[in-house]
Amino acid sequence: MPLAEVLLALELVGTFAFAVSGALLAAKKGFDIVGSLLLASLAGLGGGVIRDLVLGYGPIAFHAPLYLVPVGVAVLAVFLRLIQEDRLRRTLLAFDAVGLSLFCVMGTFIAFQAGLNPVATVLLGVTTAVGGGTLRDIVANEVPQIFNPDGVYAAPAFLGAVATTAALEWGLFNAVIAVVVAGLVFAVRIMALRFGWRVPLAELPRRSRGA
């Protein structure tokens, strides 16, 4: 199967997953279906729109209406309760994790294709991965996942972007690698949630230097 088709499929699946997370958040907050559509669009397309603005492309969603299909399907699936939040509030986080893992690979790949240097490639990959979810949470007036101390969020996306960049620089990138890296990012994110993994806080605990 050619690379281009696999990557498009991954991007559409990632868009769907993030869009579901947006529609579930809209349902949780009691928004109406138009708010659901907006939040699903922001979550599903926001990361890619930021990426494309940074690269100076017109946003993909406006030129390729295909990307609106997974958003519409996601909103409908949540509206009909085909997908709904479970009691442990894990459904939203699971879909968000799928989007995060696919978008960190795709964002990194597209940044590489645009000719950015490796540091910028990693940075834009992470931005693409966390951008949509962060916009979703800001607009819905939630504390963005990226700041939530219950489990690491940006760190797995960062590792995925580094792995993808390395594969691209060394000429090893292909559809299998893309799926494997995304799968690992997803696994790290879910295990972090399950086992309560943490990264250090923004500053060392007081007295840690003097004692």
Interface residues toward its own copies, by CB under 8 A = 23, 26-27, 29-38, 49, 53-56, 58-59, 61-63, 65, 68, 75, 78-81, 84, 111, 116-117, 119-120, 123-124, 130, 134, 138-141, 143-144, 146-147, 149, 152-155, 158, 198-204, 206, 208-209
State in angstroms the smallest separation of the CB of 184 from its own copies.
18
Give whichever of 3 and 143 is closer to its own copies, judged by the CB atom: 143
State in angstroms the smallest separation of the CB of 128 from its own copies.
12
**DSSP three-state, residue 86:** coil
Give whichever of 139 and 175 is closer to its own copies, judged by the CB atom: 139
Give whichever of 149 and 174 is closer to its own copies, judged by the CB atom: 149
State in angstroms the smallest separation of the CB of 6 from its own copies.
25
47 close to 130: Cβ distance less than 8 angstroms: yes
State in angstroms the smallest separation of the CB of 79 from its own copies.
6
In the block, residue with structure tokens 């995060």: 100
State in angstroms the smallest separation of the CB of 179 from its own copies.
25
Cα separation, 162 vs 110, in Å, equals 14
CA distances from 134 to 21, 105, 112, 129, 138 (A): 12, 18, 23, 9, 6
> Among 85, 86, 101, which Cα is nearest to 190's?
101
State in angstroms the smallest separation of the CB of 68 from its own copies.
7
75 close to 45: Cβ distance less than 8 angstroms: no
Give whichever of 3 and 69 is closer to its own copies, judged by the CB atom: 69
> Among 167, 170, 100, which Cα is nearest to 137's?
100
Give whichever of 114 and 180 is closer to its own copies, judged by the CB atom: 114
Residue 204 backbone class (left: φ over 0; alpha: ψ -120 to 50; beta: rest): beta
CA distances from 122 to 19, 55, 125, 154, 162 (A): 24, 14, 5, 12, 6
Give whichever of 78 and 105 is closer to its own copies, judged by the CB atom: 78
